[in-house]
Amino acid sequence: MDSTVSVQQQFSHRMVKHKPGELLEETYTVKDPLGSGRFGKVWLVEDQKTGDKFAAKQCACRRASQRKEFELEIEIMNSLDHPKLLQLYDAFFGKNDVTLILELVTGGELFDRIADEAFDLTEALAVKYIRQICEAVQYMHGNMILHLDIKPENILCVSPERLDSIKIIDFGFARKYTPNSPLKIMFGTPEFVAPEVVNFDPLGKGTDMWSIGVVTYVLLSGLSPFMGEDEQETLSNVTACDVDFDDDSFDDVSDDAKTFITKLLDIRESKRPNCAECLEHSWLSKEDQHRKSLSAAVVNLKKFVARRKWVRSINAVRAMTRLQAGLKKNDDPSTSK
């Protein structure tokens, strides 16, 4: 069977130039809230002329540095035309915010769907997901762009009817990559960042490959390989790079899959296989050979998803508290210069 999964784009790729924020209300009608988090809010919007529906991601943008970051995100999305990567349709900069009009993807987060009791997760299905992720990242790397934030929340199912088809989203941390010009960052999600991020060493394409390895580990077991009691312990576990498959959840996981993960979770960035090598790995070429249900992984994934949502809600509250404090400070005449 052909393991390639066709994913349709909602619209043809567009080269987007941002517009003044006041034009947003003249162009789109806001319908329903779709979600919120530390980044801001997402709304369902409708094009007033065509009736087409999109997701509008609205984020605070009060400083020049923030505006520069969003301009870079728009520039990167303009350069990415792939059916498994979320597409940008429009963009608006207001006085204190930015709104990105994005392709509407309705299937929800992949791990949320898998954690549903009615979902039958098999290693064969995991192979299908990881192949799609590798294909999307291969395209990005071919365009000399690193995603740098590959994690479960950024992998969505295309629609409720197509839970076997995914798209990668959120290019806010993505960066252009030049081999002879060292790139160093200090951001990311602790459970999924590579050791070179923690150590503030130069990054490479292997940095994304590490994250794919962690996602694969979690997908097959429902366990987080480096999760500690707190963020500092998690980062220490990442740099120690001590990976094992001792938990009973791996009893039904093939040796091929474990080898695949081990190769990706190599502490040496340059030694990790690239996407092309991953796609040629024996595990990703045996989709039909792993039909056994990974019931233990699904049970663990329920807990994993619940914990991640709790962490995100706490982070969102903290972000809102900082925002409100900043607004009060700006409104206080005694702090004005």
pLDDT 10s digits, 115-133: 886 788 999 999 999 999 9
Contacts of 65 (CB under 8 A, 6+ apart): none
241 sits in the region (left: phi over 0; alpha: psi -120 to 50; else beta) called: left
Between 164 and 74, name the one with better pLDDT. 74
At residue 82, the 3 state secondary structure works out as: coil
Closest CA to 209 of 193, 221, 198: 193
Q: Alpha-carbon distance 151 to 193, whole Å?
A: 9
Instruction: Please indicate whether residue 170 is annotated as part of the active site.
Output: no
- Judge whether 150 and 205 are in contact, CB under 8 Å: no
d(CA 219, CA 215): 6
**Tokens 């329903």 map to which residue?**
32
Higher-confidence position of 181 and 97: 97
Query: What's the average model confidence in pLDDT over 296-300?
Result: 93
- State the burial class of residue 87 (Cβ atoms within 10 Å of its Cβ: 0-12, 13-18, 19+): buried
Question: What are the residues facing 55 on neighbouring strands?
Answer: 44, 102
- pLDDT-derived band at 2 (thresholds 50, 70, 90) equals very low
Q: Given this model, what pLDDT does residue 4 score? A: 46
CA atoms within 13 A on the CB side of 145: 22
User: Which parts of the chain fold into alpha helices (H)?
Assistant: 24-27, 64-78, 110-114, 123-142, 195-198, 205-221, 231-240, 255-264, 275-280, 295-331
Residue positions in the annotated binding site for ATP?
57
Tell me the pTM. Answer: 0.89
Q: Which domains does the chain have, with CATH numbers?
A: 19-102 (3.30.200.20), 110-301 (1.10.510.10)
Mind listing the pLDDT tens digit for each residue in 200-229?
A: 999 999 999 999 999 999 999 999 999 999
- Given the residues 90, 112, 149, 170, select the one marked as catalytic: 149
Q: Is the model's pLDDT at 288 over the cut of 90?
A: no
Give the model's pLDDT for residue 8: 66
What's the rounded Cα separation, in Å, for the pair 115 and 94? 38
End-to-end CA separation in angstroms for the chain:
68
**Identity of the residue numbered 128:** K
